[in-house]
Structure 1
Amino acid sequence: MQAHPAAQDDDMWYVITEGPMKILKANNDVAITEGAPHRLEKLQDEWTTEDKRKVNLDNVAKDILYKTLDKVTFSKIKMCRTAKEFWEKLIQLCEGNDQTKENKLSLAVQKFDNIKMKIGESMHDYDERISGIINELNALGKVYSNKEIALKVVRGLPKE
């Protein structure tokens, strides 16, 4: 029986964020006192086709993630053993640690505070620059209200 595509997506994301799946079965030798039964890992010769698919998801996830990278990034990540390690390393490389995120946020706030329309710049280009900075700020967790953004746009316009 084939798993539903949405379930496969959930399983894939689980493997990326939580690590390789363990195939478990109920341990009937232990009495159930409260809640769910005690579980233990299935032996490999007990695996169903679905169990084998789930165990292989870590390899599939790593393969998909590897194929999305350029050579430089791949060289920094290729030693990761699991999709979860890969994902965590990729987040660290792309987003940085807390200090890096703080620095990026400070720079983005400074860009927003200091933005002015350049001489000869079209309104469209000015709007594009502001939108880029706002998107950067949003990605870093800083959100400005529409009123704050409108005031910044107006204040950044030349006096003429």
Structure 2
Amino acid sequence: MFSKIKTCATAKEIWEKLTQIYEGNDKTKENKIRVAQQKYELIKMREGETMAEFDERFSAVVIELIGLGKEYSNRELALKVMRALPREWDI
């Protein structure tokens, strides 16, 4: 990492370089959002997966989206989880 910022003369330049490295430009950020939203839309509980395992996967996707500036209400998240459960969970 140091090799990427060692030529920066000011803290501002270092910050901008680190931001570019980790967040990317606007196009990169849009692509990251698109990929994360696709993961969110397609997520389903896998056969043999426990609820805890599914919750961990689902939470990771939601946290990724929040980090990219996309948030969902608790109601939206609850509905998504219910739709992601297999038929055996139907009442």
Percent identity over the alignment?
61
Match of 2:40 in 1: 112
> Which amino acid is 1:99 matched to?
K
Structure 1 gap segments, 5+ residues each: 1-72
Q: Which runs of 5 or more residues in structure 2 are unaligned? A: none
Structure 1: distance between partners of 2:47 and 2:61: 19
RMSD (Å) for aligned C-alpha atoms? 0.7
User: What SS does structure 2 have at the residue aligned with 1:124?
Assistant: helix
> Which structure has the bigger radius of gyration?
1
Q: For 1:108 and 1:140, how far apart are their aligned partners in 2?
A: 9
Partner of 1:64: none
Deviation at 1:94, TM superposition (A): 0.3
1:80 is aligned with what amino acid? C
Aligned residue for 1:136? 64
Q: Which structure ranks higher in relative contact order (CA pairs < 8 Å, sequence separation ≥ 6)?
A: 2
Task: Give me the TM-score of the superposition, normalised by structure 2.
Answer: 0.93
TM-score by length of 1: 0.54
Is 1:154 the equivalent of 2:74? no
Letter in 1 for 2:22: C
Decide which structure has greater helix share: 2
1:100 aligned residue (28, 46, 62): 28
Matches within 5 A, 1:1-160: 73-160=1-88
The amino acid of 2:8's aligned partner reads: C
- Give the Cα–Cα distance (whole angstroms) in 2 for the partners of residues 75 and 121 of structure 1: 42
